[in-house]
A and B are shown apart, each in its own frame.
Chain A
Amino acid sequence: MSEYSVIGKPTTNVDGAAKVTGEAVYTFDMTLPNMLYGKLLRSPHPHAKIVSIDTSEAEKLPGVKAVITGKDTPGGKYGLWRRFHELADQEVLATTKVRFIGEPVVAVAAISEDIAEKAIDLIKVEYEPLPAVFEPMEAIKDDAPVIHDGFENNINNTRHIEWGDVDEGFKNSDYVREDRFTLFSQHPAYMEVHNTLASYDKGSGRLTVWASTQSPYFLQLGISDALKMREGNVRVIKPHVGGGFGGKNSTMHDSVNAAFLSMKTGRPVKIVFNREEEFTATEHRTAMHLAIKIGLKKDGTILAKEVKIITDGGAYTGLGATTLYLAGTFITFPYKTPNYRYDGVRTYTNKMWASSVRGFGAVPTVYAAETQLDRAAHDLGIDPIEIRRRNAMTPGYEAPGQYMVKSCGILPCIDKMEQRVKEKWTDLSKDEGIGFAAFAYMSGGIFNWIDTPYAFSGAMVKVNIDGTVDLFTQASDIGQGHNTVSVMICAEELGIGVEDIRLHPADTATTLTDLGAWGSRETLMNGNAIKAAAGEVKKVLVEVARMKLGENIVYDLEVKDKRIYLALRPERGFSYYDIVKDAIKRNDGEPIIGIGHYTPHRKGMISPAYGMGIQAVKAKVDRETGQVEVKDVITVHDCGQTINPLGARGQVEGSTQMGLGFGLCEDMLTDNGMVLNPSFVDYKLIRSRDMPQIELIDVPTYDPEGPYGAKEAAEATTAPGAPALANAIYHAVGAEFNSNVLKPEKVLKAIREKEKKGR
């Protein structure tokens, strides 16, 4: 029997019914009385000086209530890397020059969307085009155009990681190989577009914002920095969010402009992006050039690894500087690497900026590392599973000065995978192949570039006289199911059911700070805060029960299944509800309140815990057309103690779809900085009917840092799909790829080249 009543039980989402019946309210659905509609005029140039802006005709249009340019705004620069002022480089509207096609220059508020759009058409902007640069290798050259003053050679950020003696490691290797990759971008492609409703109260000077965001706190800071307001005067409320996938961490132009237009007009203002704006002017996965050198012994043991990365940062910083760090980290996982050197540079280019997307830092780098490892295994005559087993991290593994891995189930995952593949995929037909890729990812980052003085996550639990519980937390459910995980953790700790808990999520005015949903941080970090808050309440209830029992202090009490009782004599105890009543009486009639918080300390530089595993893809290649069919996928995942298996399964399926899309078809085509396929007609996603079956095998471990042993689940699984697919093609037809997006023409070309070499 499980020691838990709630944790680990497949649980339908607490907000699932509201979502599937259409009752759930998203910012997109919201209106307020007297609301205005905002629209943005965007730059048609990738790099240009703004010579003049004439808004007079737009201002005359009946129904237009405000027209603002960059010069009207308070001029605050903002961004997520606010601890480093020069990297907080975003503006509400471009003031002196534009740096990418689609950068907003003017914002309009009008009584209808149609009038706002007409007003936009009436604005005349004179630009002086400047030379632009789109490729990171060009941007870093001495004669490249300067995108931001003070950033020599467009170097936005650098990162160096080194441990061991890399040169000695290569010297001692029996086999050394170098590979160079170009990894292309990917749009997060969430269903709900960026949109914000802002309402400013001129009397109090306070602003309330509802937005589709992954972090109400980051948005509160972004708006207050941009508009030079007191942080506490900006209240952000996150309604239901229709997906983020990393693309909604930054404060985007919808939020700051809706807020400023509301301040100007004294009326609520709503800005909703359309899909074309999403593709041209919101954040996407960081594209990069990557060189990787690996040294191994004859038996396949990795002795040294060296990685060089230049990322295509785009025009601003976003979370791209964090991506650079994570890229250099997760390319080492989940393998023991005794000697390692990494250098990364992020360059500014005249494109929409690249930032965080699901599995950021890991998805492109794992592609390079895992395909290279298969090539090395092939050359050394070692089985792909065996080479991974030989190098797999073990519990307690430490990369000096960088990270330490406590719970670590990669070895049992590999063993399980080997067994399952042998059972399931007994026969391969002609031109079918099996590819493997191992993966790992963080359970929240130990980074404070946002420069918060608060705990990384806080929660408050209030128990009412009838035993119902109000749980207040700022953590963000963006569709990944954290609302359900929050309630399950609180219920388990208090020994009650999820139906006893009312969740009050994601409002900066009523909840304790949480840094938001990115890097798989909510389960571990917010989960710990909730567990601590509920634990405070539990302590009070246990004390009351102990007094009523009159038992010796050495006897432990259990709080479970709505009872509080002696652990060794379960028949001696009380109903949870009765104890709550007594506790409130003894507390001068006040409800019992618990507050908990969590900030990682002494957990290395990256994360307190790492989820990991291995994925296998079976694919068939058509040698005549280059078409690849993904036939089947098996994922073996160690995510510690799974909190909600139903939610985890859904996330694994979604992240696998995204990972295979990165590998197969998702391609943001650009020409001179312009996105050529800004719609779901031309930007190809893997659709439900194209998805293979996905078998998920859970290999549980217990991470001492996570709530009930939980850690990252199912963000890591965005990474292995593309390299496992590339490896499957490699094993099927021998074609090698040093980039993602394996469209039929690319596969066919590689097959032909391979055939030529073979002749």
Chain B
Amino acid sequence: MANYRCPCCRKISSDHHDLARHFLGQTDSKHKDWLKTQGLSYAQLITWQVTEFGNKGYDTLAEVLEKEAPKVE
């Protein structure tokens, strides 16, 4: 089964939703800047996550990570 590697650090996760959670937990600029390259805003994702019930912020990022995060065996 393919695992997902964080595009910004060495974190490997078996699930792109889990990787999204890791990603938004990081406070360094490397992760935030990568989001910008994907047309996403860190603040917007967090705002969705804390102002609306549900997982919209993570789901949005997970969709992108599913396509863009390097796959590792």
Contacts and interface: CB of A to CB of B under 8 A. Distances in A.
A86 interface: yes
Interface residues of A, number: 26
Given A150-B29, A160-B24, A341-B55, A155 B49 contact: no
Contact of B53 (A152, A158, A178): A178
B13 to A, nearest CB: 14
Nearest to A161: B21
Contacts of A153: 42-43, 46-47
B32 interface: yes
Q: Chain B: interface residue count, which band?
A: 20 to 34
Interface string B26-53: 0111001000000001110011011111
Given A142-B43, A155-B43, A343 B27 contact: no
Contacts of A343: 49-50, 57
B27 A306 contact: no
Contacts of B28: 86
A84 B41 CA distance: 22
A659 interface: no
Instruction: Name the prevailing secondary structure of the B interface residues.
Output: helix
B36 to A, nearest CB: 10
A308 interface: yes
Contacts of B50: 158, 308-310, 343-345
A590 to B, nearest CB: 51
Contact of A158 (B25, B41, B51, B54): B25
A160 B25 contact: yes
Contacts of A49: none
A399 to B, nearest CB: 16
B60 to A, nearest CB: 14
B43 to A, nearest CB: 3
Contact of A152 (B21, B25, B42): B42
Contacts of A140: 43, 46-47
A291 B52 CA distance: 9
Interface string A321-351: 0000000000000000000010111000000
Contacts of B52: 308
A345 B46 contact: yes
B24 A158 contact: yes
Contact of B49 (A86, A150, A157, A160): A160
A152 B36 CA distance: 12
A416 interface: no
A67 to B, nearest CB: 36
Given A86-B27, A150-B29, A158 B46 contact: yes
B35 to A, nearest CB: 10
A158 B21 CA distance: 11
Contact of B42 (A86, A155, A162, A306): A155
A178 B53 CA distance: 9
Contacts of B43: 140, 142, 152-153, 155
Nearest to A291: B53
Interface in A163-213: 167, 178
A152 B47 contact: no
A341 B25 CA distance: 15
A293 interface: yes
Nearest to B27: A86
Contacts of B41: 152
| Most chain B Cβ neighbours within 10 Å, of A157, A162, A293 | A162
B53 A155 contact: no
Contacts of A293: 53
A404 B20 CA distance: 26
A329 to B, nearest CB: 16
Interface string A120-162: 0000000000000000000010100000001011010111101
B37 to A, nearest CB: 15
A134 B41 CA distance: 23
Contacts of B55: 341
Contact of A155 (B21, B46, B51, B58): B46
A142 B46 CA distance: 12
Interface in A264-310: 291, 293, 306, 308-310
A84 B27 contact: yes
A506 B59 CA distance: 49
Contacts of A158: 24-25, 46, 49-50
Contacts of A159: 25
B52 to A, nearest CB: 8
A293 B51 CA distance: 12
Contacts of B27: 84, 86-87, 157
A343 B46 CA distance: 9
B47 to A, nearest CB: 6
B54 to A, nearest CB: 8
A310 B32 CA distance: 20
A647 B2 CA distance: 57
Contacts of A306: 53-54
A343 B59 CA distance: 14
A435 B18 CA distance: 40
Nearest to A308: B50
A686 to B, nearest CB: 33
A309 B25 CA distance: 15
| Most chain A Cβ neighbours within 10 Å, of B29, B49, B50, B52 | B50
A84 B25 CA distance: 12
A723 to B, nearest CB: 22
Contacts of A308: 49-53
Contacts of A341: 55
Contacts of A150: 29
Given A150-B29, A155-B43, A160 B21 contact: yes
Contacts of B49: 158, 160, 308, 343, 345
Contacts of B29: 150
A344 B51 CA distance: 10
A140 B57 CA distance: 15
B67 to A, nearest CB: 22
A341 B57 CA distance: 13
A724 to B, nearest CB: 27
| Most chain A Cβ neighbours within 10 Å, of B24, B42, B55 | B55
Nearest to A170: B53
Nearest to B17: A162
Contacts of A157: 27
Nearest to B49: A343
B56 to A, nearest CB: 10
Contacts of A152: 32, 41-43
Given A142-B43, A306-B54, A343-B49, 9 more contacts: A86-B27, A152-B43, A155-B43, A155-B46, A160-B25, A308-B49, A310-B50, A343-B57, A344-B50
7 contacts: A142-B43, A153-B47, A291-B51, A291-B53, A306-B53, A343-B50, A345-B49
Top 4 nearest A-B pairs (CB, nearest first) are A153-B43, A343-B49, A345-B50, A343-B50
